[in-house]
Amino acid sequence: MKRQLTALIEREGDGYVSICPELDIASQGDIVEEARANLVEAVELFFEAASETEIDNRLHEEMYVTRLEVTVG
């Protein structure tokens, strides 16, 4: 079974941090592609090892990513 999830990737120091906010799972890599691939691996391992109860407790089914415009100063 395939599932669509969100990946947020940001530069941190000399590398990149990747986060799956639906499951609160994070990984990292030296380049964007490596951070993404490592996150895919971490999420797949979670689904292999976690019980249905743990998956139900951690999985946020609705996730929205948007941009905000705010006044600063």
pLDDT tens, residue by residue, 20-70: 999 999 999 999 999 999 999 999 999 999 999 999 999 998 888 899 999
- What pLDDT, on a 0 to 100 scale, did the predictor assign at position 63? 85
Inform me whether the pLDDT recorded for 9 exceeds 90: yes
Instruction: Provide φ and ψ at 6, rounded to 5°.
Output: -95, 140
Structure token pair of residue 21: 């906010």
**Res 17: pLDDT:** 98
For range 10-29, the mean pLDDT: 97
Give me the pLDDT at residue 61, please: 87
Residue 1: pLDDT over 90:
no
DSSP letters of 21-64?
TTTTEEEEESSHHHHHHHHHHHHHHHHHHS-HHHHHHH--S---
Task: Determine which helix (DSSP H) or strand (DSSP E) holds 12, and give its type and residue range.
Answer: strand 8-12
